[in-house]
């Protein structure tokens, strides 16, 4: 697997954080912030197979964000907190949970305690404020479902990333 520098630094900082080497974890986080303008906190739970387009330029993630395997996140994406909201299923949470094999287009925002299902696709420039079901394509401000993919279409489109 070919990881970019931002993800390598995140993975290293996450391991440091898990071993309670918080100072070193913070130094790696600061390196990413200064050199790549990417705010990928070491407290976020990001699968090692996640890929960041354009080396993570301009990506901002909340400290409690969860990102599943094989997800592709393009440049200038915000995965952030939306104050005062609870999840649609009634559970509490502050930041997004992204499933596996998800595509998030450039300049998209996923705000609040939103769950994005596996194989979902978020169009560039979209603002996601509610849950996205599996195999859905969403676009717009606020994002709405514009298409539901079949399992075959979703897996085929993943080969194009």
Long-range Cβ contacts of 129-132 (<8 Å, 24+ apart): 129/82, 130/88, 131/87, 131/88
Which of helix, strand or coil describes residue 51? strand
Quickly state the pLDDT bin for 87 (edges 50, 70, 90). Answer: low
Instruction: Tell whether the model's pLDDT for residue 1 goes beyond 60.
Output: no
Quickly state the pLDDT bin for 157 (edges 50, 70, 90). Answer: confident
Annotated catalytic residue 81: yes
H/E element holding 5?
helix 5-18
Copy the structure tokens of residue 39.
């705010």
Domain spanning 5-158: which superfamily?
Hexapeptide repeat proteins (2.160.10.10)
Average pLDDT over residues 92-98: 84
Quickly state the pLDDT bin for 49 (edges 50, 70, 90). Answer: very high
What are the boundaries of each domain within the chain? 5-158
Instruction: Tell whether the model's pLDDT for residue 51 goes beyond 80.
Output: yes
Of 62, 81, 102, 109, catalytic? 81
φ, ψ for residue 107, nearest 5 deg: 65, 15
Distances (CA, A) of 151 to 49, 66, 131, 133: 21, 23, 19, 13
Residue 47: which residues within 8 A CB-CB, separation 6 or more? 67, 68, 69, 70, 71, 100
Decide: residue 64, CB within 10 A, 0-12 exposed, 13-18 middle, 19+ buried: middle
Cis peptide before 142 (omega within 30 of 0): yes
Quickly state the pLDDT bin for 161 (edges 50, 70, 90). Answer: low
Copy the structure tokens of residue 96.
């997004």
Helices first, then strands: H and E counts in the chain: 3, 14
Tell me the whole-structure pTM to 2 decimals.
Answer: 0.89
């Amino acid at each position: 697997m070919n990881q970019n520098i931002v993800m390598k630094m995140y993975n290293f900082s996450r391991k440091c954080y898990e071993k309670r080497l918080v100072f070193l974890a913070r130094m790696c986080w600061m390196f990413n912030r200064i050199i790549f303008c990417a705010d990928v906190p070491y407290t976020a739970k990001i699968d090692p197979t996640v890929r960041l387009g354009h080396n993570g330029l301009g990506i901002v993630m909340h400290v409690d964000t969860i990102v599943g395997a094989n997800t592709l996140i393009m440049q200038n994406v915000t995965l952030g907190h939306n104050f005062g909201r609870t999840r649609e299923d009634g559970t509490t949470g502050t930041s997004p949970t992204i499933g596996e094999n998800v595509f998030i287009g450039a300049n998209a925002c996923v705000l609040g305690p939103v769950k994005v299902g596996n194989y979902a696709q978020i169009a560039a420039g979209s603002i996601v404020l509610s849950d996205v079901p599996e195999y859905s394509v969403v676009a717009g401000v606020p994002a709405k479902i514009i298409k539901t993919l079949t399992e075959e279409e979703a897996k085929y489109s993943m080969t194009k990333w």
